[in-house]
Amino acid sequence: MSVDFATVKRVARLARIAVSEEEANRMVGELNGILGFVEQLSEVDVEGVEAMTSVTPMEMKKRRDDVTDGNKAADIVSNAPVTDQNFFLVPKVVE
Amino acid sequence: MSELTSLTIAEARTKLRAKEIKATELTEAYISAIEAANEKLNAYIKVTPEKALQMAEASDARLAGGKGGALEGIPLGIKDLFATEGIHTQACSHILDGFKPHYESTVTQNLWDDGAVMLGKLNMDEFAMGSSNETSYYGAVINPWRSGGSNQQLVPGGSSGGSAAAVAAHLCAGATATDTGGSIRQPAAFTGTVGIKPTYGRCSRWGTVAFASSLDQAGPIARDVRDAAILLRSMASVDSKDTTSVDLPVPDYEAALGQSLKGMKIGIPDEYRVDGMPEEIETLWQQGIAWLRDAGAEIVNISLPHTKYALPAYYIVAPAEASSNLARYDGVRYGLRVDGKDIVDMYEKTRAAGFGKEVKRRIMIGTYVLSAGYYDAYYIRAQKVRTLIKRDFELAFNAGIDAILTPATPSSAFGVADENLASDPVKMYLNDIFTVTVNMAGLPGIAVPAGLDHKGLPLGLQLIGKPFDEETLFKTAHVIEQAAGRFTPAKWW
């Protein structure tokens, strides 16, 4: 399988990365190089093989559903580019 | 290099406990070494001398009271991927511009709890994506090693290139690093240092910037096997904040050093002999085999038939996980924001400006292989191949193999801005051909220096072990180190 210019633009949109025409053109070649490389996986017989979900056999740890942390609003917003009274500010979403 | 910075962690530990030296003197010696060298090597992207001296003074007070921890007063460098409270933490990316966490990663907290001193944050490939440390927003790291008679700048490998270069140039006593496809072992091999990627689940991932969560593991880069054992014991822990942290006590790895290899079975996988591999790598491998045989181990030829599929499977699984993990960098909660005409425009412009080329490339691949219609053909198939890769190892270990010996890398360190590698991303990816299988199977792997090539550059061997059997790796790597000797670059910086 390979990608064309339109697919690169669509994937960039899905990934929320703005790409110029020039970048998209360059990426067509690069991504096809990588997709060509991974194409060799199609020669592996995976019939009846389970897809890996956990590399180390382990039971998911569980804990009580209690609040153990919190009241740190000021810490949480302190690294944000734009805030107001412990809220993150974003461009207007709803008209 | 002053005498103090030439001490290994084990040597410094003895002198600190005997009160022959002070943690403050040792720390000052490293700060001076960094000031003198960093402009040329670019190993540190943030030096924290005030904090280092404060920590060293506290260490001296504890040592004076006979209450020092396992790493009391030992100055370390920290890869920029680990969250350090109130201190630059950006995974060497522009998108985390100005980020200073309000928390400390579990791995670094463990080190400080044992008395270690932080010298600063180390350079790395952006978000740990790279094999040459050239994708860093802060510029390439220069390998302290040079070819004999040449002043060409070489890469230290990546992604933990700053860690490896700083350890090799004695700009810290040891360093933290992380390994998703070879990012500890490849730079260790390129710089004549020792690096171990422990079993998945041995070190907590909490507070470590995520790249590919099912592959990422922290580990140390050190000057010798003993120092790596000392560091890993402190870094590893059982952590309730990481659900993939495994509930097993951390052994005293150092105690494994010096134990006999008699009766051990070392597997030699034929599939690690790849086309175009320099003759010197094969010779080095044979030398390693001879050393282990002389030490009493039995050498057994084994087959790991799915080896060649590990790297292509990795380049589906790792970008897929990365595209998901890196979705959080959106210009809202931390780091860089580039304004746009609406919220989507803001996201797209922020991510376009904040991520470097290699990171964008991987996010794009990950997004593509996870997108509707391709998920089964790429991602699920890759995860099935991963099961087969792991099964290859399980069959070998079930047949009685205790550890597997392979080369660490297919070449020695290459030049900065190598045009051949820059023209094709896949060529750069091939650097990890011997190391990536270990991440795919979640196993421990150690790279140990074993010799120099005809250019005078270090080459490493890799040992792969059973899950949570790091002790066997330390004991076997120690035998190689004893036979090969240690390798230090001639100082030019």
Per-residue pLDDT tens over the stretch B398-443: 999 999 999 999 999 999 999 888 888 888 898 999 999 999 999 9
SS3 label, residue B24:
helix
Say whether B387 and A12 touch across the interface (CB within 8 A).
Answer: no
Per-residue pLDDT tens over the stretch B97-137: 999 999 999 999 999 999 999 999 999 999 999 999 999 99
Closest residue on chain B to A87 (Cα) = B333
Query: Would you tell me which residues 48-77 of chain A have a C-beta closer than 8 angstroms to some C-beta of chain B?
Result: 49-56, 58, 60-61, 63, 72, 75-76
Mean model confidence pLDDT for chain B:
97
Nearest to B309 among A14, A44, A93 (CB): A44
- Under 8 Å CB pairs connecting chains A and B tally to 166
CATH number at residue A9: 1.10.20
Specify the CATH superfamily of domain B4-262. Amidase signature (AS) domain (3.90.1300.10)
Say whether A55 and B390 touch across the interface (CB within 8 A).
Answer: yes
H or E stretch at B312: helix B310-325
- Write the DSSP string, B229-272: HHHHHHH----TT-TTS---PPP-GGGGTT---TT-EEEEEGGG
Q: Is residue A92 part of a domain?
A: no
- Write the DSSP string, B347-367: HHHHHHHHS-HHHHHHHHHHH
For A70, counting Cβ atoms within 10 Å of its Cβ (0-12 exposed, 13-18 middle, 19+ buried), the class is: exposed
Nearest to B340 among A30, A54, A91 (CB): A91
Min Cα distance A51 → chain B (Å) is 4
Per-residue pLDDT tens over the stretch B289-338: 999 999 999 999 999 999 999 999 999 999 999 999 999 999 999 999 99
A82 at the B interface (CB within 8 A)? yes
What are the boundaries of each domain within chain B?
4-262
pLDDT confidence band for B2 (50 / 70 / 90): low
Active site residue B237: no
Q: Is the pLDDT at B1 greater than 70, yes or no?
A: no
Of the residues B131, B163, B183, B245, which is catalytic? B183
Sign of the dihedral through C-alpha B288, B293, B294, B295? positive
Q: Is residue A19 part of a domain?
A: yes
Q: In the 3-class helix/strand/coil scheme, how is A56-85 assigned residue by residue?
A: CCCCCCCCCCCCCCCCCHHHHHCCCCCEEC
Nearest to B365 among A19, A34, A88 (CB): A34
Q: Which residues of A touch B313 (CB under 8 A)?
A: 38, 41
Give pLDDT tens digits along chain A (95 positions). 789 999 999 999 999 999 999 999 999 999 999 999 999 999 999 999 999 988 987 777 888 899 988 999 999 999 999 999 999 999 988 87
Min Cα distance B76 → chain A (Å) is 26
Per-residue pLDDT tens over the stretch B232-282: 999 999 999 999 999 999 999 999 999 999 999 999 999 999 888 889 999
Interface test with A, best of B215, B306, B364 (most A CBs within 10 A): B364
* Amino acid letter for position B241: K
Average pLDDT over residues B64-74: 96
Q: Which residues of A touch B384 (CB under 8 A)?
A: 44, 46, 49-52
Closest residue on chain A to B341 (Cα) = A91
Q: Is residue A33 part of a domain?
A: yes
Nearest to B441 among A42, A55, A80 (CB): A55
Min Cα distance A20 → chain B (Å) is 10
Alpha-carbon distance B298 to B34, whole Å?
Answer: 44
Active site residue B183: yes
Nearest to A93 among B343, B355, B384 (CB): B343
Alpha-carbon distance B23 to B248, whole Å?
Answer: 32
Say whether A55 and B214 touch across the interface (CB within 8 A).
Answer: yes
Sequence-distant (6+) residues with CB within 8 A of B404 are: B266, B267, B268, B269, B302, B304, B393, B396, B463, B464, B465
Say whether A16 and B330 touch across the interface (CB within 8 A).
Answer: yes
Which range marks the domain in which residue A14 is found? 5-39
H or E stretch at B63: helix B49-64
Active site residue B159: yes
Q: Is residue A34 part of a domain?
A: yes
Of the residues B105, B131, B132, B159, which is catalytic? B159
Q: Is residue A82 part of a domain?
A: no
Domains: count for chain A: 1
Say whether B313 and A38 touch across the interface (CB within 8 A).
Answer: yes
